[in-house]
A and B are shown apart, each in its own frame.
Chain A
Amino acid sequence: MAPSKPLLTFCYAVLLFFSPLVSHAASEYEDEIISSIEDIEKAEISNSITSITEIVKKYPNSKLGHLMLGDLLAARVGSSELIKQFSQDGKQLTGLRDEIRQRWGHVRTPTPPTSGLIPSSIIQTAPDQEFVLVVDASRARLYVYKAANDNYEYVDSYYMTIGKGGMDKRKEGDTKTPIGVYFVTAYLPGKTLPPRYGPGAFPINYPNELDKVHRKTGYGIWIHGTEPENYNRIPLASDGCVSLSNDEFIDIKKYIKTDGSTPVIIAENFSWADSQTIAENRNEFNTILNKWKDDWESMDLERYLSNYSNQDFDNGQHDYKSWANHKTRVNSGKQFIQVNITDLSIFSYPAETEIVAVRFKQEYESDTYRSVSFKKQYWSKNADGKWKIIFES
């Protein structure tokens, strides 16, 4: 059955569930939409008709604005059935309702970011990683965190739309949005793209190393704008990308660098932590990494290999056994090994399995070999609670 009750009814439902709080909206557009709903809340129907009329004048492609206006006008004269003539399959209507629920939820309810919490996925950022983008599908929100003195501050947020297939992309064409830790790799200006991407796009590195190991396929997961017909998309309306309104896409550019130093963590849900917990996580993982480094430098092969998962290690070239053989061959007969780690970044995977993505600059020196490289590792917690490396390159 196609849902076709006017949005107004829904607004009241929302109002009953959420109590008014300090508002924090990222955009003027959202502010205006929300304040119109507040007029409805106060039963100031003509005010809200006036303000929504202004909104649709200012943002003629705001589907949400038009829906609210239609509902208010219809409600004014009791035409609650009118909407049925225009709502064919109910999809667009449901989508718009979800959008308003998400936007309202962001502005009018305490959210973890607005309450000073940090996604526990952020453990440590490298010095060049100034901002971290956090895509929270459950809230249809992209949060921006700024790294500041070993701490993370919530600076901004944007309403966004994910793939129509939902979350956890696995294969090409499933129109899902991947879950994981990614990095922005490039900028594609809008004039080089079809109009549906709006003013431009930031591709991310899906499939990343771990995705490839997990045989995940597909490509072209971008953060991009919206086609000209819509002010923004309703939730779940991309092919797996993260879509923002064009105004906000242009705004978010200031937070994004394309040299791989802008992490984008994407999840259905995040767990949230205060800054003290984040610091504890950071210490814990630094200890683990230092142990790995010490074990390597000890030249005790058994100690060193104990850091690697004999079940799950797979870096595309080696499984655990061939990795052990390779390392045994390479490390044998060395006089000394010295490893220096800098520019370390650590992000934990937001999905249910505990995986941590680690990147750092590695300065390696032994009596026979010397190198500087950027290392990528993925660590996973095994059944007995020990962190083991499942990928390294």
Chain B
Amino acid sequence: MKPFWLIIINLLCVVNVTHASQLDIIKGHITKGQLSKALSLTERELSSDPNNAEVNFIKAVILEKNGDYEQARSIYETLTITHPGMPEPHNNLAIYHSNSGNIDLAIQSLESALKTHPSYATAYLNLVSLYNQLASQSYRIALNSETPVVYPELASILDTPPILPSVSPVGDSKPVIASTDNGTSSELSTSSGIIDTTQPETADNETTDTDLVLAASDTSTTEPIEVSKPYTEDTNVKTTSTADVVAVSEIDTQSEDTNGQIEEASTSESSVSIPTANEDNEDEQLASKEELVEEVADESSSADVISENQLLQQQKNEIIKQLQHWATSWSDQSVEEYLKHYSDQFLPQGNTTLVEWKKQRKSRLLLRDFIEVNISQFSVEIDGDSATVNFTQQYKSNIFEDTVRKTVQLRLSGEQWLIYREQI
């Protein structure tokens, strides 16, 4: 016999499907440009469920398409208060602010959109780091520059919010938003172009704005802000944990089942401050690799609940940390520290014995006026007690300089991961 709650869930699913298909019908009308039909359908939906966030959102999108920006804005604003966890209203509000020349508010809104899920910010900043790295590489070539390219250490996300069964396909609403975005923001990007050129010395803010809009105006590829799935999960968490908002009965029922998880989620969300919270991008980028690695390690140890994945991540971080130490001791030319990272079973390349190799290394390390080793872009594979790490090694001394992709194999010996193979 089915437990009672399962029956309820089944029932809810049926309700849910009708609800979703109703939204689909509305969206279908929007796509076909039948805005008044879409609007009257949303009104009908809202008459029975006036606080439904998605329907309200769709309504705002329709109003915006109709040119009724003020009303759309007020719905978006309400949604950001009643459903602060929904990124879409923040984003669309940002476009409104930006269009009315209120760049500061637009930035605030986008920051809020990113804050709806801690992973967005991290993923976004990681993306920024990588774009910056690529851009730097190109600038360096284009401008014959000697400035070294900073290879960013990407921040990893150490905790995943619990995955709840998704209530309705919110992700589907995306294309609608995207198409609204497209219309408004491409106009916007052109007009900013004018501002930028006629006033070559405009404030940094404005430039940033142009670029952001430029990025946003393109809907065809990965967009840092538009990650729809995590949003669905997150909204559920928020809706249940902050009970004052739209107590949708379906979610309440489900939360009985998953309550424990939700508790965990909200605590971990507040205690684990992911290394790259969107406070200050630049500082993050400039932070040295070692700091980041340490930070990451600290974070993971403070997390209350450690999943298998997290354990693995911790191990990876530990390996990277130890390899960074290996590189630092190499740079510092402290031979003893450097050699401590090698296992007794280390097999030197070529025909040398370990003893000979150690001697050779010692003289190589000590004979240089200076050595600078930077390692970055790690890929770590762990298999029990052994690990294989791929990384980029930039080596520079007074007589030689190169950048290679290196592979080392390590074995865990006590606390230490020791290198037993090393190859380029």
Contact = CB atoms under 8 A, between A and B. Distances in A.
B228 interface: no
B141 interface: yes
Contacts of B136: 70, 82, 85-86
Contacts of B189: 43
B127 A46 contact: no
Contacts of A74: 131-132, 135, 139, 211
B138 A82 contact: no
A44 B218 contact: yes
Nearest to A10: B197
A46 B208 contact: no
Interface in B110-166: 127-128, 131-132, 134-145, 147
Given A9-B193, A16-B194, A82 B211 contact: no
Contact of A5 (B134, B141, B196): B196
Contacts of B196: 5, 9, 12
Interface string A1-45: 001010011101101100000000000000000000000000111
A259 interface: no
Interface stretch (A87-95, A264-272, A294-302, A357-365): A87-95
A234 to B, nearest CB: 10
B138 A67 contact: yes
A326 interface: no
A82 B135 contact: yes
B384 interface: no
- B contacts with A: majority SS: helix
B424 to A, nearest CB: 23
A13 B197 contact: yes
A160 interface: no
A82 B142 contact: no
B253 to A, nearest CB: 42
Interface string A283-307: 0000000000000000000000000
A81 interface: yes
Contact of A43 (B207, B208, B212, B214): B214
A317 B196 CA distance: 61
Interface size of A as a range: 35 or more
Contacts of B137: 70
Given A73-B134, A76-B211, A80-B207, A66 B139 contact: yes
B260 interface: no
Nearest to B220: A46
B423 interface: no
B217 interface: yes
A330 interface: no
Nearest to A13: B197
Contacts of A72: 135
B142 to A, nearest CB: 4
Interface string B173-209: 0000000000000100110011011001000100110
A86 B207 contact: no
Given A73-B135, A79-B128, A16 B212 contact: no
Contacts of A43: 186, 189-190, 214, 217-218
B100 interface: no
A69 interface: yes
B138 to A, nearest CB: 3
Contacts of B138: 56, 66-67, 69-70, 73
Nearest to A3: B200
Contacts of B131: 73-74, 76-77, 79
Interface in A80-113: 80-83, 85-88, 92-93, 96
A78 B211 contact: yes
Nearest to B285: A79
B52 to A, nearest CB: 34
Interface string B37-50: 00000000000000
Interface string B214-226: 1101101100100
Contacts of A66: 138-139, 141-142
B143 A45 contact: no
A44 to B, nearest CB: 7
A78 B212 contact: yes
A70 B142 contact: yes
B135 A70 contact: yes
B143 A92 contact: yes
Contacts of B186: 43
Nearest to B198: A13
Contact of B221 (A9, A46, A80, A82): A46
A42 B199 CA distance: 22
B278 to A, nearest CB: 13
A257 interface: no
Contact of A92 (B142, B194, B207, B218): B142
Contacts of A76: 131, 211, 214-215
Q: Which of A15, A43, A74 has the most CB of B within 10 A?
A: A43
A73 B193 CA distance: 17
B211 A87 contact: no
A79 B281 CA distance: 10
A15 B143 CA distance: 23
A79 B135 contact: yes
A16 B139 contact: no
A46 B193 CA distance: 18
Contacts of A279: none
Nearest to B182: A43
A88 B140 CA distance: 11
A78 B215 contact: yes
A43 B191 CA distance: 12
A79 B143 contact: no
Closest 7 CB pairs of A and B: A12-B193, A70-B138, A67-B142, A66-B142, A73-B135, A13-B197, A86-B139
27 contacts: A5-B207, A8-B214, A9-B207, A12-B193, A12-B196, A43-B190, A43-B217, A43-B218, A64-B142, A70-B136, A71-B135, A73-B131, A73-B138, A74-B131, A74-B132, A74-B135, A74-B211, A75-B214, A75-B215, A78-B128, A81-B204, A82-B135, A82-B136, A85-B139, A92-B143, A92-B144, A96-B142
Interface of A: 3, 5, 8-10, 12-13, 15-16, 43-47, 56, 63-67, 69-83, 85-88, 92-93, 96
Given A43-B218, A77-B128, 7 more contacts: A8-B214, A63-B142, A75-B211, A75-B214, A76-B214, A81-B204, A93-B143
